[in-house]
Chains A and B, each alone.
Chain A
Amino acid sequence: MFKLFLKIATRFLFKNKMYSFINVAGLAIGVASFILIMLYVNYERSYDTFIGSENVHRVFMDYLEGGKYVPGDANAYILSGPSLKEKFPEINDFVRFRRRHGMVLIHNNLAFDENIGALTDPSFFSIFDRSLSKGNPQTALSEPYSIVLTSSLAKKIFADANPIGETIKIVGDADSIFTITGVLADDNQKTHLKNDFLVSFETFYTWKIFQNDWKYTWNQNEYFTYLQVDESTNVDLLNQKVMAFTPEGLKNERHHLEPIEDIHLYSHKPYEAETNGNGDNIKLLSIIAFITLFLSWMNYMNLSSSKSLERAKEIGIRKVAGAKKSQLTLQFLFESALLNFVAILLALLVVYLLLPSFNRLVGQNLGFDSAQLKTLLPYLGIMLLGASLAALYPAFVLSRFSPVKVLKGKLQTSKNGLHFRRALIITQFVATIALLICTFMANKQIRFLKNRPIGADLNQVVALKGQVLNRASDSLFYPKFETLLDELRKSPYVDEVTAAGTYPGDAYANMNSNLGLTFPDGRIDDKHIWYNYGAYPKYFDLMGMEFAAGKAFSQTAQKWSRNVVINERMAHFMGVSDFEGIIGKTINFWEEDWTVSGVIKDYNHFGLKARVEPLIIRHGRNSSNVLVKLDKKATTMAGVNKALYDLERTWYKVFPLSTYNYTFLDQKFEAFFNEDQKFAKAFQIFTILAILIASLGLFGLTSYTCIQRKKEIGVRKVNGATITQILQLLNQDFIKWVGLAFVVAIPISWFAMHKWLEGFAYKTTISWWVFVLAGISALIIALISVSWQSFRAAIANPVEVLRDE
C-alpha cells in the first residue's frame, strides 16, 4: 500500500513541477529561517547556562538616586560576598572576580598582551561548574600567586607543552611571578564574563598593583560577585532580605541579586563585564521565527488545498472504485509527509550552506553541529505538529469531495474553505506588512543614530594604547611619556596629539563613577552618580568638543592642576543655567577643591543608547590613551597605513619594551550600534523571506480563486467583460485584503516599534510615511504575485469552461 502511495505521490509531485517547487520551496524557506533564527536565539539564550546555573545569582549595587534606588553598578564591594554569605544561610557560597584589562604576561621573554585577568575565589570551579584539563581544581586557586589559564591562552604561550608548575610574569607596578596551577578544560565563551586567566584571590593582599586598594572595604566596588544559593531558596524572598540588609559602612546603596542566566540578554548596567546582548531583539527575532514558520505552513495548506481542486477527478474515480474516505486521507497525508520531509531536508541543506554567511552577518559563530541542533529539539515537536496539521487540512478537503458531483464536473467548493484560505492570506499579509514597517523603522532608527551629531569629532582620531613593560615610578615614566607625545607630534601625518583616561565611545573603561560632590554654592549632593576622568588640555580641541563657556584648562609645568572642565549636564545637575557664571568657581570632591575652567557642550560618551551623564574632566596626567588626530595627508588608505606605521615606529622608539595597540575612534563608536545593525540586517533578511513566502501563498490562492471562479469569469466574458474588467474583478479582492491587513498591521507594528525604540535614548520619529511605504510595497508585491495567474484566467477562452458536457 505504502509503496503504491509513494509511487503516486512522487509521480504527482514530478508531474506538477511548478506546484511542487513552490510548495517545497515555501516550506523549506520557512523551516530554514526558523532553524537559523532559533540557532541564533538559542545561542544568545544559552549564555551562562551550566549545571546549577539556575542557583547562581550576581550581586549588583543599587544607588539611592533622588530618593529612589536605581541599578547603579554591575560590580559589588570586596566585602559584599563574604558579608552576604555570613548573614544569609541560604547562600552556599560566593565567588568574586576583580578584573584587569590589558594585562601583559611574559614567559621566556615573550610578551602576551591584551589579556583580561581576574582575581578569583577558589569557589569559582564549583559555582560555575568549570573543570580543569590540567591541574587540581581543589587547590588551583588556593595559594597566592597561583594562576589558571584558559586553554587557548595556554596553547598560545606553551603550545602543546604541559604548563603546570611553570612560572609566568605579570607586568605591573612591580612585576610579579606566578605559578601555573591549572588550565581550564574548555573555553566556554558563552558567558558574559570572559577572562583569559584567573589568579588566586589570595594574591590580592600582597600584589603591588592593587596596593592602593588594600585599604578599601565599603568604598570601592570593582568586584563582580556571584552567589550560589541553596536549591530550595525562594530567591525573591532572599532578594528582599538582601536589599534590606545594610552592612555597617555601606551608605545610600543596597545589594541586589539577579539570575546569572539573565545577565547576557537583560542586564545593561554601568560597568558591565562586556556589552551585553539585547533581549528585546532576541524576543522580536523569535517572534519572526515563528511567524515565518507559520506563514510557510499556511502557504502549504493554501497551495495544497487549491491544487486539490485539480485533482477532484482523480478522487472521484477513486471513490467510485471503492476507496474509503480514510484511505484517501491516508494517501494525501502520505503525500504531505513526503513533501514536508523533502522540505525539511532541503531546509537543513539551506541552513548548512547559509550558516557561514549568516554568521558573518550577525557576527556570531554558530555551529551546525549536534550540540547546536540539540538545542532545537524542543522545537522539533512544534515543527512536527505544525507540519502534520498543515498536512491534515488538504487531506481532509480532498477526501471530502462527493464523487458523483466531481465526475459530473460540478466542482462544489465550500465557502468555508475559501473563507479559511482568505483568513490565512490576510494573516500572512498582516505579518508581511508589520515586518515591512518594522524593517523600515529599524533602518530609519539606525540611520538616525549614525547621522546624529555626538558632540565630538571622532574622524581621523586614533587611540594608541600599550603597556610599558619596564615601567618605573611615575616621576620617571611621565617625562618619557611626554617625550612620546612630542615625538608623535613631529610626525608629518599627525595633526595634534593629546592623552586622556578615556574618550567618547570607550564607555566605562577608565571612567570613574562617583557619589558626593560639593556644588559652587556650597550645597552637597551625595545621592547622584556622576562620572569623571583625566585629560590633557588639548583633549577638547583635538576631539572637536565645543565650549559653552570658559575654556580648557591651561597648560601647567607639572602637567596637572586642580582645574576641571564640566559638561552642560553637570552644570544643570549643580543647578547652574548661567554657564559663564560658574567659570572660576570652586567645587569639591575627593576631599579636594577644584576650579571650573570651562563648560563643554554635552557629548555622548556611552554611545547613543545611553543618556548623557553629569561629567567632570580633570586636568591630569593620564597615559591610558594617547589620542592622535591624523593629518589630511592620512585620508587615503595608503596614507593611513603610512601614518599608522609611523606612529608605531615612534612608539617603539620611545618605549622599546612595551606592547602597542591602536583603535580608530569612529569605528569604535560605531560598534555601539553593531548589535542593532546586526539585528536590523537579520530582520531585513527574514522580512524578505517572509514576503517571499507570503507571495507564494498569494500565488497559490490566486490559482485557487481563478479555478474556482473559472465559470464566473467565463460567464462574464461571454456577457461582454473585457480582460481589464476581469483583472479588476479578480484583483480588487486581493487589494481589499491587503488593505484590511494593512489596517490590522498598523497598530501591531506601531506598538512593536514603540517598544523597541524605548531601548534608545535618542529615537527617531515613527513617521506616517513608513507605514504608507510599507503598505504600498505590500500592495505592489501582492499585485505582482496575483497578476500572472489572474491574467491567465482572464485571457482564457470562456468556451473551455462553459462547455456543457
Chain B
Amino acid sequence: MLLQLNNIFKWVNSGGQRIFLLKDINLNVEEGQFISIMGPSGSGKSTLLNVIGMLDAFDEGEYHFLDESVHSLKEKRRATLYKEYIGFVFQSYHLLDELTVKENLEMPLLYKKFKGSERKAMVADMLDRFNIVGKKDLFPTQLSGGQQQLVGVARALISSPKLILADEPTGNLNSKQGEEIMELFKQLNDEGVTIIQVTHSEKNAEYGSRIINLLDGRMI
C-alpha cells in the first residue's frame, strides 16, 4: 500500500458557516495504480490532490503514506517525505521563466543535496529520455505548451518519485499535445510509477486504471 486516507475532512469557516471542501474521504492507493479524479468545478479535486501531495493540511482524519502517519508528522519530516517520493505536474506547468529547460530540470535536485556531477548526469538522462536535448538551453517561453508540459513532467520525474500528482496536466494543451502527455503517463505507469491525476476529460480519465468521482467534497 502506497497511501491510505481514512475519513478525511477539510473545511473552511466562512461567514459563521462551515463549508466542507472534503467530506469523509476514504481512499487506498496501491503502488503502480493510475487514478483519475473527476468532478465538476469546485468539487474538491485539486484540494484532494494537494492533501495527498502534503501541500495542504486537513482538519480531520488520518493519512498514511508508506506506513508513516502523515497527520501526526512534523512539518519538516512531511517535507522530506514528499520531497523524496512525490513529483508534481501542473496545468500551467509552473516552470521558472528565468531558468532554461536544463536549469528547470536541475532545480529540484539542488534541494536534495546531489553533487554537481550527479545532477548533471540525471539532467542529461532526463533530457535524453524525453527527447528534449536540443531544447535544453531554451527558456520556457520559447517552447510550445506541449513541450513546456513535457519539461514539467520531466522535472517531476527527475528525482525518481514513487508517486506523480498531476493537476489537469493537459488543461492548457491542444488535443494532440494532450494525447502525447497522456501516452507518456501511461508509459510511466507501465514502468511502475504511481500516478494520480485530476482531469475533466473522460477521454483522459480512460488512461487510468481507476476513476474517482467527487461532488461537493464527497466521493461518489
Contacts and interface: CB of A to CB of B under 8 A. Distances in A.
A42 to B, nearest CB: 50
A719 B108 contact: yes
A714 B94 contact: yes
Interface in A705-754: 711-712, 714-716, 718-722, 725
A710 to B, nearest CB: 11
B90 A720 contact: no
B55 A718 contact: yes
A248 interface: no
B92 A804 contact: yes
Contacts, number: 48
From A720, A721, A798, A799, name the one whose CB has the most chain B CB atoms within 10 angstroms.
Answer: A720
A716 B82 CA distance: 13
A716 B55 CA distance: 13
B171 A804 contact: yes
A712 B96 contact: yes
Interface in B48-84: 50, 53, 55-56, 79, 82-83
A718 B161 CA distance: 13
Interface string B108-130: 10111000000000000000000
Contacts of B91: 804
A784 to B, nearest CB: 25
A799 B56 contact: yes
B9 interface: no
A720 B108 CA distance: 6
Contacts of A798: 55
Nearest to B95: A715
Nearest to B108: A719
A711 B55 contact: no
B111 to A, nearest CB: 4
Interface string A770-797: 0000000000000000000000000001
Contacts of B107: 715-716, 719
A716 B111 contact: yes
Q: Is the interface of A mostly helix, strand, loop or mixed?
A: helix
A802 interface: yes
Contacts of B94: 711, 714-715, 718, 802
Contact of A797 (B55, B79, B168): B55
A799 B79 contact: no
Interface residues of B, number: 26
Contacts of A725: 111
A572 B123 CA distance: 80
B218 to A, nearest CB: 21
A722 B79 contact: yes
Contacts of B23: none
Contacts of A722: 79, 111
A722 B159 CA distance: 16
Contacts of B79: 720, 722
B96 A715 contact: yes
A803 interface: yes
B57 to A, nearest CB: 8
A719 B111 contact: yes
B88 interface: yes
Interface in B139-187: 155, 159, 167-168, 171
B46 interface: yes
A804 B149 CA distance: 14
A718 B88 contact: yes
Nearest to B49: A799
A802 B91 CA distance: 9
Interface in B81-104: 82-83, 88, 90-92, 94-96, 98
Nearest to B46: A803
Residue among A715, A718, A719 facing the most chain B CB atoms (10 A cut-off): A719
B45 to A, nearest CB: 11
Nearest to B168: A804
Nearest to A795: B75
Contacts of A711: 94
Contacts of A712: 96, 98
Contacts of B88: 718-719
Interface string B25-57: 000000000000000000000100010010110
Contacts of A720: 79, 82-83, 108, 111-112, 159
Nearest to B41: A805
Interface of A: 711-712, 714-716, 718-722, 725, 797-799, 802-804
22 contacts: A712-B98, A715-B94, A715-B96, A716-B107, A716-B111, A718-B53, A720-B82, A720-B108, A720-B111, A720-B159, A721-B110, A721-B111, A722-B79, A722-B111, A797-B55, A797-B56, A799-B56, A802-B94, A803-B46, A804-B46, A804-B91, A804-B171
Given A725-B111, A803-B46, A804-B168, 10 more contacts: A711-B94, A712-B98, A715-B96, A718-B53, A720-B82, A720-B108, A799-B56, A804-B90, A804-B92, A804-B167
